[in-house]
Every structure is written in structure tokens, then in C-alpha cells.
Amino acid sequence: MQGSGLAIGASQGAMLRAAALLLHLLRRLVDLTLILLLGVMVVAVLAQVAGRYLLNFSIGGATELATFAQIWMVLLGAGYAMRARLHVSIDTLVARLPPLAARLLMLPVAALCLWFLYVVFEGGMLLIEIGAIQTSAALQISMQVPYIALPVSAAYLALELALAFGATILGQAPAADLGERAD
């Protein structure tokens, strides 16, 4: 009997390590994507400015590319901000509550946030369907490219939100610091 308990514990430990590794890889992928998107945006804007003022020629695709990169960067950046606890929050009430009551208050708050992200995800999926028959004006790419940012970022933000609120609800993080930056 005792040997089987050790085997279950070891397999759960291995699963937790695998999940932690996947989370770490996903976060690094998001970090690199955000850096790449910022670079694309800067280069596209600089190309547009150089084209207008040095060559007296507007590069329409550069503006659209910068816009699409910004859309992706802002939406993915919301998940990054949740991870780093950079979102604005009003925690006056939570800070005055006893720890257990504050943690219990986080349950409906987390549920409402996750519901909102579900609505964003579903709306993004509908936009992807519409985007399949549309192309962008300058780059002539499928509008699915910018629209897919909604469900992808909503899913990533939901993951980061669940981790942040989950730690608070389980008592592993104080309830009143959701708006403060984690070190």
C-alpha cells in the first residue's frame, strides 16, 4: 500500500514539473514574441517616416504592419502585465478585510474576469470566421491574422489570471497585492 502512494506522489511530482516547464516555455515564447512585435513595429514606423520625409513616398503596408503588430503586442501584453502584476486594481476593501474574507472575495472577482475573457475568446473566434473572407487593404493578407490575436491573448490572459488569482485564493499570495508588482 505504501509503495503505491509513493508512485502516485512521484508521478504527480513529474506532472507538476512538466507543467511548470511548459508554463516557463510559454512565458518565454510570449516574452520573445512581444520583443519581436515591438521590433517589427519600430522598423515599420521608421520605414514609413523615412519613406514620407526622405523619399516623399508613403509606404502603406508599413502603417498596416505596425498597426497589426501593435494589436498583437497590446493584447499579448495584457497577459504579461497580469503575470507581472502590473494591472491597476483597487484593493482598498480587500486590504481591510480579514485574510479569509479577502480570499473568498477573490472567487467571484476571478469568475467575472474569466467570464469576460471567455466572451472575448468567443467573439474573437467569430471574427476569425469573418476574417477568412476579408483581406487587409495594404498588405492583402487575411484578416484572420490580426483577429486571431483576440482568442490567443484571451486564452493566455485567462491562464495568467487563473494562476494569479488561484495563488491568492489558495492563500499562497496576499489578496491585496494583486495590483502590486511581483518581484
Position 38 in a domain: yes
At 110-133, the pLDDT tens digits run 999 999 999 999 999 999 999 999
Predicted local confidence at residue 90, as pLDDT = 79
At 63-74, the pLDDT tens digits run 999 999 999 999
C-alpha cell at 91: 484593493
Position 111 in a domain: yes
Predicted local confidence at residue 22, as pLDDT = 98
Position 182 in a domain: no
Domain interval for residue 77: 2-177
Position 183 in a domain: no
Q: If we measure between CA atoms, which residue out of 35, 34, 15, 11 comes closest to residue 23?
A: 15
Count of structural domains within the chain: 1
In the predicted model, is pLDDT for residue 103 greater than 80?
yes
How much of the chain exceeds pLDDT 90, in percent?
77
Whether this prediction's pTM lies above 0.75 is answered by yes
Position 75 in a domain: yes
Distance CA 79, CA 72 (A): 11
Position 119 in a domain: yes
